[in-house]
Amino acid sequence: MIDSHTSLYCVLGDPIFHSLSPVMHNSAFAHIGYNGAYLAFNVKDIASAVAGIRGLGIKGVSVTIPHKVAVMEYLDEIDEKAVKIGAVNTIINKAGKLYGYNSDYLGAVDALSEKTDIAGKDVVMIGAGGAARAIGFGVISKGGNLTIANIIEDEGKLLAKDLGVRYYPLSDINTCMKNVDCRILINATPVGMTPDVDGMPIPGEFLNKDMVVMDIVYNPLKTRLLKEAEDIGCVTVDGVSMFVFQGVFQFELWTGKKAPVDVMRKAVLDAL
C-alpha cells in the first residue's frame, strides 16, 4: 500500500535500467510490513538530484555509477570511513540533513570472506572508480596486498596513491600478472554488465585455477569473466553477494529494523 505516510527511497545512477535495488528493497519492505517504497531514477545532474532529495523529503538513497564520488560535495556530513574511501553509495535524510556512508566495502569484504581468507594474499583489482575505492579499502583493512590495474591512468594512479598500493595501466596487464602472485582477482568495473555481456575486463589467458575470481557485476549473474574462471576451476564470487550485503547495511540504516537477508537475496536471484 502506498499512501500519504509512505516513506520514499530511491537509487540514483546513469544508466539505471538494470538496477535490482528496487526489487530487493521493496521485497524487504513488504516482508516486514514497512510502509516504504523504493524507486530508480536515471540521473545525469547529481546536484539537482540531491536538491530533489531535500525538497521531496526522500528518506534514503542509494548512489551508483557514476555519482559515488561527485555526490559527496553536496552532503551535510560524511561518515569517516566513507571519507577515507573517497566515495559514498548510501545517504540517509535526517530531518533535512543528508548524511553519507559507504556500504560497498562491507558488501565486498563479506562476500569475499564467504569464500576465502583475504589476509596476506595478493589481490589484483581491475578498476579505480567509486566501487573500486570502497573494495580496495576493504581489502586493505582485511590485510590483503592490493595491486590496481586501470584503463584510465590518472584515475588509477590517484587511487593507488590514496590507498598506498601499486598501480599498473590495464594495457600492461601482462607485466602486472607476471610481477604479482595473484590469488584474488576482482573486477570492479561495469565491463560485462547487461547489455554488453560479452565484455571481459582482462583476457581469459590471465586466469589460473588457483585464483578466487570476484565480479561486482550482478546482471548477468554469471558474467563472461566468471564463466571462464569457473571453466578452468577457479572459485568464483558473483556480484549478488556483495550487492545484497551492501543493501542489508542500507536497509538497517534507513529503517532501524533488522534486514530480512534471505528475502533480499531471493528477490534478486528470482529477478535475475
Instruction: Measure the N-to-C terminal CA separation of the chain; round to a whole number of Å.
Output: 25
Max CA separation in the chain (angstroms): 60
Residue 154 DSSP symbol = H
Strand order in the sheet with 182-187: 166-169, 145-150, 122-126, 182-187, 212-215, 235-237
Rounded CA gap, 208 and 122, in Å? 14
Torsion from C-alpha of 238, 10, 133, 48, nearest 10 degrees: 150
32-63 core/surface letters (b: 16 or more CB in 10 A; e: else): eebebbbebeebeebeebbebbeeeebbbbbb
Q: Print the SS3 string covering 86-147.
A: CCCCEEEEECCEEEEECCHHHHHHHHHHCCCCCCCCEEEEECCCHHHHHHHHHHHHCCCEEE
Cα 197 to Cα 68, 179, 220: the distances in Å are: 24, 29, 7
Residue with the three cell numbers 528475502: 263
Which residues does the annotation mark as catalytic?
A: 68
Contact 143, 119 (CB under 8 A): yes
